[in-house]
Amino acid sequence: MNKYSEIYIVSTNSEWADILIGGLSTIFVSYNFQHLTSLSNLWNIRPRTIVIYDKESLGNPSLNLVSPGERGGEWVIVNAKQCDTESSAGFIALGFSGLIDKAYTIEMLPKAIRTVISGQLWFSREAMSLSLKQATHIGHQSNHSINILAVKYALTVREQQVFLYLLQGSSNKEIAMQMNVSPSTIKCHVSSILLKTGKNGRRQLFSLLVDNEKKVLTPTV
């Protein structure tokens, strides 16, 4: 008996989902495939169930309140944008098992599913490396929160690095020296972070992190 028995394809693009299921069902012949157009019923999922999340049709999973750690199952994001790989550490923090760029979804999904079935993650080597590096900068809980915020606000890798330094109280000049770029470049990154998060200054950025950590630490009833 297979450890995994169900694979959900969640997408509002029915034509694409049907094509995907048609191909995958010939490879994973003993698995039951289901196509869902919404996330409303995907709660209390059995631990070994796989969920394929079509980001192109459904949008940012963070904005849809998708946290695999709360919903259960093994979730793989497909049809992602190339820039989404810069938020891979955040997706990992949220509990996702994999991320595939749109250009490679059809080609790589079967291998990704096999990898997830074997208990491993399917992210690029660069993404895994970034996730480990970020974990060494500040405390685990704060790092976890920044990763999640990076997904929610689509922060680039550089913006995530600047965010980390800001939380440590570094000035623009100090950050520029650490990252080997000009202070004007750091100023642009800070402005972009403030614009994306809707905050007006560094103090508000810190409060954003604190508020997020409170949500993480507050148990759901």
Write down all domains in the chain, each with its CATH number in brackets. Answer: 6-124 (3.40.50.2300), 135-217 (1.10.10.10)
**pLDDT at residue 107, rounded to an integer:** 96
**pLDDT at residue 208, rounded to an integer:** 72
**pLDDT at residue 37, rounded to an integer:** 97
Mark the ranges of the chain whose per-residue pLDDT is less than 70: 1-4, 130-144, 203, 207, 209-221
Half-sphere exposure of 113 (CA within 13 A, CB side): 26
Q: Which two tokens stand for residue 100?
A: 């595939």
**pLDDT at residue 142, rounded to an integer:** 56
Q: In whole angstroms, what separates CA 111 from the centre of its chain? A: 19
Q: Which two tokens stand for residue 150?
A: 């990076």
**pLDDT at residue 88, rounded to an integer:** 80
**pLDDT at residue 221, rounded to an integer:** 39
Using an 8 Å Cβ cutoff, are 52 and 25 in contact?
Answer: no
The pTM assigned to this predicted structure is 0.67
**pLDDT at residue 217, rounded to an integer:** 40
**pLDDT at residue 219, rounded to an integer:** 43
**pLDDT at residue 220, rounded to an integer:** 42
